[in-house]
Amino acid sequence: MVRRLRAAGAVFTGKTSTAEFGQSATSDNLLGPDAANPWDPTRTPGGSSGGSAVAAAARLSTVAVGSDGGGSIRIPAAFCGIFGVKPSPGLCPDEKGFRAMTDFVSPGPMTSTVADARVVLGVLADRSFARSTRAPLRIAYCARPEGRPVDSGVAKAVDHAARVLEQLGHDVIDTDLPLQGWNDVFGPLVLEDEHRERGHLLDYAADQLTRYERSSLRAALKLDAGQVQNARERLPQYRRRIAELFDRYDVLLTPTVAVPAFPLNERPTHIDGAKVDQLWGPFPFTVPFNVAGVAAASTPCGLADGLPVGAQLVTANGAEALLLDVCEDLEEGLAFDWSAVAGRWTNDRSPAP
């Protein structure tokens, strides 16, 4: 990926912080201080590609790239108020580098505008993503996938995005999406991957690993072959179920995450008054679409308590051109205000594009 970007003229300003082996939706590791959110440095930028989101949001780089196996582009994009795309599996060639979440992961752009993402994704996929005019679309809007709790400020901002899409002429239909069962596939296959690639580290370097990576590797030791086989059998079934949604709808719309960026090392235990799982509570809405093998993006749609909120838009496998078009239409319709963060981290006090 880096070679392709260099060949296209990209200038790399540095490496960015990430979760160890991509195993957390935050960007803390043992190399130094936690990556901090440019909107409020006491809060997480999300992860695992959190440093990339910080670089783009704070204008340390024009664009950045991330790797999304369970939301690792879309989660930090939402928390940092930038645009991030998880392409369909296989769109960007796999050059057999680092292995993690192998069944679900895709590299993709993290940028301040959809127009910039078109350029980066075009390089990664070796094709053009020129903007097209679209006829009115059928958009399935699910405000609380699987009935999970959502912060009221997040819910309000995403609902506003739905209304803007209606004003743009699209048919937005309130829908309950059949997303259940994703973790029966995702969990065993990710842990199998971790055990195969890094299980040996428990034997001689456990004290050099983060707590969350040790937890993943120890959980992998408890897997049995039946769980993995069951997940392998369910994966194509899950993908068919989600693919069938696109016989009825062109685009799906959900929140990207359930909360705004939370304080560093303080994952929420309750959301909108409801107790939530510490692992998945803030982040239950991105992984289903990795399991489904479709294209998805997060675009900033407003603020909650002064922090960015992301709307997640999803299209069928291979429909990245449609995804970018509807996201760019929404971007223009929302006119997200970047001025607070742009003025804080750059010499240019004018609002970002």
Residue 126 lies in a domain: yes
CATH number of the domain enclosing 311: 3.90.1300.10
Q: Tell me the average pLDDT of the chain.
A: 95
Q: What is the pLDDT of residue 339?
A: 84
Range of the domain at 283: 2-345
Is residue 155 domain-resident?
yes
- Cα gap 68→87, rounded to integer Å: 9
Q: Is residue 15 in some structural domain?
A: yes
Which structure tokens are listed for 228?
């993995």
Q: How many structural domains compose the chain?
A: 1
Residue with tokens 């803030």: 282
Name which of 17, 105, 106, 87 is nearest 55 in CA terms.
17
Q: Average pLDDT in the 239-252 region? A: 98
Q: Which amino acid is at 179?
A: L
Whole-number percent of the chain with pLDDT over 90 = 91
Residue 96 lies in a domain: yes
290's enclosing H/E stretch is helix 287-292
pLDDT digits 0-9 by tens, 19-53:
999 999 999 999 999 999 999 999 999 999 999 99
User: 0.75 cut: is pTM over it?
Assistant: yes
For 286-325, write each residue's pLDDT tens digit.
999 999 999 999 999 999 999 999 999 999 999 999 999 9
268 CB burial (10 A radius; 0-12, 13-18, 19+) = middle
Q: Is residue 322 part of a domain?
A: yes
Give residue 51's pLDDT: 97
Decide if 157 is inside a domain.
yes
pLDDT at 348 over 80: no
Strands 295-304 and 307-315: antiparallel
pLDDT of residue 347: 62
Beta carbons of 185 and 231 less than 8 angstroms apart:
yes
Residue 82, classed as helix, strand or coil, is: coil
Which residue's structure tokens are 């239409």? 329
Q: Residue 28: which of 202, 36, 13 has the closest Cα?
A: 36
Q: Note if the bond before 48 is cis, omega within 30 degrees.
A: yes
Q: Is 204 a domain residue?
A: yes
Residue 353 lies in a domain: no
Residues 104-149: tens digit of each pLDDT: 999 999 999 999 999 999 999 999 999 999 999 999 999 999 999 9
